[in-house]
Amino acid sequence: MTEEISLLPPPSLEERHSGVPVRLAKEAVEARDRLVRHRTLPQSRPRQRGVRLPPDITLDVFEQAVQDLRAAIGRENVEVNDKALVDGWYLEHPNTHDAFHIVDQEELVSSAVVFPGSAEEVQQVVRWANKYSIPIYPISIGRNVGYGGAAPRVPGGVVLDLGRRMHRILSLDAQNASCVVEPGVTYFRLYEEIQRQGLPLWIDTPDLGGGSVLGNACDRGVGYTPYGDHFANHCGMEVVLPNGELLRTGMGAMPGPDGADNPTWQSFQHAFGPSIDGIFSQSNFGIVTKMGFHLMPPVENQSYCFTFQKDDDFEQIVDIIRPLAQQRILGNIPQLRHVIQELNVTGRPRSDFHGGPGPMTRDEVAAAAKELPLGECAWVFYGTQYGPPESIASQLEVVKKAFSQIPGSRFFLPEDVPPTHYLHSRALVCAGVPVLRELDWLNWVPNGAHLFFSPIAPTRGHDARVLHEIIAAAHARHGFDLFPTLCVAGREMHYIANILYDRGDVDEKKRAIRLMREMIAACAARGFGEYRTHLLFADQVARTYSWGDQALMRFNETIKDALDPNGVLAPGRNGIWPQRFRGREWELGESDVEMDHIGPTKMLADSLA
């Protein structure tokens, strides 16, 4: 018998640290119900295998290790992963595996999930992992959707769910415009607490507000206000190292008076000597248990969008954005989206616009877009200006004049479109208000899941066109609709291609893997590298940064082996493997498409014996 998604309201922030704000409760129910209507997979099914043990660990040793850890941090804080795997949905997601599994659901699974309640308990878990040589994988919330979710890279690894018990907002300083948070603090939670206290502060949020503030910054995620570079706007970390020692970075390394935290910890990012914070982002060199952030004072703002009629306008659009961004005329990190995004963000399935297999044709996209509020077009630019009203007005005149060079461009304010249009959601996000709207595009296909392909290119029209053509051709070859969103800054742009697939369709999942493998290689050959990727593609991406005979990788491995000689902390995360795993069939490359089994062949043979 299979379980189904509960039709009870999703958990609120008052009920669960990862819940939804009351203001979004109705929207959350509607979003969930749309996803349920497009689901054909059962919510769970009986496991085909028993507990997936950590590599080189026998059942007897595993059971003893679990018993020891329960004695150290509490029986209720260590759960063996022996139950049915439930994919859930965004607000009720798993911490045992990737809800958007691109390989078999039971392949990348944990052996257990641990819930430490403090930095001291994290230290205990790390020392335990070293004692038993068990890989541990910290997660903050587990909503790193599109990049692997909560899955461990090594099957059978133990997941440290930091957010379950470590979700305090430790400081909110209105004068310094800063905060300190633990891993389980979501954008929703931080925003709502600021509103509750009536503080004159904004947060910067990504498209969805349920992720961890700390976790997103450590993965170098982005938002859309002037504080949109989340890691750049962090200030101070507390980190548990792979040997169990505790470290503070920046001014936090200097004790404050009478044992208090240093009063400048959230004021100045650096300390004396090397600045080491960066090695704890997109790495497996430490577990961040506290992190400080600069917050933005509130300011008047105006969101808007432009539409452009032709696909061939693309190069000129990018070349117009570049000087506007370099001169700081554009107020935020704007988005440039293809008009097909206007279709899928409605929450309607592709079948409403397209019959039969394969991706939509350009004519079908144009015909469908013609019926939407922005009308027929090819590209949509979403921007926001900040400052006093007179400053916003003058900035907008400059932006309008620049884009008027493109024939047929049109300008829209939020009041020009219906209240349900996506522009209103962008206006909230660009004013630091976390929302749920981006969930709607998962309804494009049944059992909607997605992968992000996220290369970086210079903000030059020619480079943008070359990159776009590589990605578009690959999508066409593998039979996927292309959903491009470009976050365009003055010198570089993040090209985010969202690959939507049916996680119940084995063939479609394999085609998505082939598409990713091909794009990583083809883009790297032209110098376009991913800034962030799904955990199963991290080895291939890491190896594309190969200058100097893999000098960067050798440097990362040297640090890894020095800090983590037993190789227990998140082996393989971001393509960095400790010595005991290297060269033992754990790494995955361009030719690894099937991925029916992750890890050494011997492990597969042992599991079948």
- Indicate which residues carry an active-site annotation: 147, 531-532
With H, G, I as helix, E, B as strand and everything else as coil, classify residue 386: strand
- Angle, CA 262 vertex, CA 259 and CA 264 arms, to 5°: 165
Q: 409: alpha, beta or left, given left = phi > 0 and alpha = psi -120 to 50? A: beta
Task: Give the H/E segment covering residue 73.
Answer: helix 59-73
End-to-end CA gap in the chain: 28
Measuring CA to CA, which residue among 170, 224, 167, 162 is closest to residue 570? Answer: 162
Q: 131: alpha, beta or left, given left = phi > 0 and alpha = psi -120 to 50? A: alpha
With H, G, I as helix, E, B as strand and everything else as coil, classify residue 505: coil
Q: Which tokens sit at 92?
A: 């009720």
Task: List, in order, residues 6 or more apart from 607 with CB less than 8 Å away.
Answer: 49
With H, G, I as helix, E, B as strand and everything else as coil, classify residue 27: helix
Measuring CA to CA, which residue among 488, 436, 438, 529 is closest to residue 222? Answer: 488
DSSP assignments along 328-391, one per residue: T-S-S--EEEETHHHHHTTT--GGGT--SSSPPPHHHHHHHHHTSTT-S-SEEEEEEEESSHHH
Contact present, 283 and 576 (Cβ < 8 Å)? yes
Between CA 122 and CA 166 the distance in angstroms is: 10
Contact present, 89 and 192 (Cβ < 8 Å)? no
